[in-house]
Amino acid sequence: MSNDVLFTIEDLEVSYGAIAALKGVSLEVQRGEIVTILGANGAGKTTTMRAISQLIKTKSGSIRFKGQELTKIPAHKIVKLGISHSPEGRRVFGVLTVEENLLLGTYSKGKVNPKTLRWIYEMFPRLEERRKQLAGTLSGGEQQMLAIGRALMSDPEMVLLDEPSLGIAPILVKAIFEQIKEISRQGVTVLLVEQNAKAALKLADRGYVLEVGKIALEGPSADLLASEKVQEAYLGKK
């Protein structure tokens, strides 16, 4: 693989009061990769994503995107640098329409790219069909598509996807994972947090396994899929 490092985290520590959520996490993402972070409930996956977007304060360590230190940058400037975030739990605005939610994704950039809107509607035709519908009336899976679409509206170089399969019907999970591949094909680097380890490893180039705030394992997805430890702990095999 070419060595074109886009993003690095080094020795990242984050605490919630006295609770240490991340205890020295390091990882790296190359331009164009799909990288997944796996781990059980409470391992620190969402905390890692929120730390990257500067939605929580980091205690120590560094987060660099294209060589720029993010821990010194306010949250509202992160999107402008080229990173956007589809958060866990989707957090779409229920009283706004689908299209209004999508347009909000361009808020930090200040301009709408019509080609991007078209691309999102091609990827998720259900969003186009329901563009005038209030987002609160969408199914969970459709809201997830909307959250991903909204994150893409700013034309990011890297997108953070936190648990896109959570609480969604299997058929929609499949559709969403297929579109994550398409997002990657269009040149967007993807950092994906998932509890659905099998699906995530099948999709990703490489993975990291977080266990109670530390990276316990890392490697190419094929190696992780074959690893006995991953199979026992995350793929339900003995």
| Residues at the contact surface with ligand ATP, assessed by CB under 6 A | 16, 19, 21, 39, 41-47, 88, 195
Run of H or E residues at 124: none
φ/ψ of residue 236, rounded to 5: 65, 25
Give least dist CB 16 to ligand ATP, A.
Answer: 3
Question: First-to-last CA distance in the chain?
Answer: 32
CB of 209 to ligand ATP, least distance (A): 11
Closer by beta carbon to ligand ATP, 46 or else 106: 46
- When the beta carbons of 16 and 67 are compared against ligand ATP, the nearer one is 16
In whole angstroms, the minimum distance from the beta carbon of 149 to ligand ATP comes to: 22
Nearer to ligand ATP, 45 or 206 (CB): 45
**Nearer to ligand ATP among residue 3 and residue 41 (C-beta):** 41
Looking only at the bridges linking them, the beta strands covering 158-162 and 5-16 are: unpaired
To the nearest whole angstrom, how small is the minimum distance from the Cβ of residue 143 to ligand ATP?
A: 17
Q: How far is the CB of 31 from ligand ATP (least distance, A)?
A: 25
Task: Starting at the earlier edge strand, list the strands of the sheet with 5-16.
Answer: 19-30, 5-16, 60-65, 68-69
Angle CA 186–187–192, to nearest 5: 100
Q: What whole-number distance in Å separates Cα of residue 117 and Cα of residue 110? A: 14
When the beta carbons of 126 and 214 are compared against ligand ATP, the nearer one is: 214
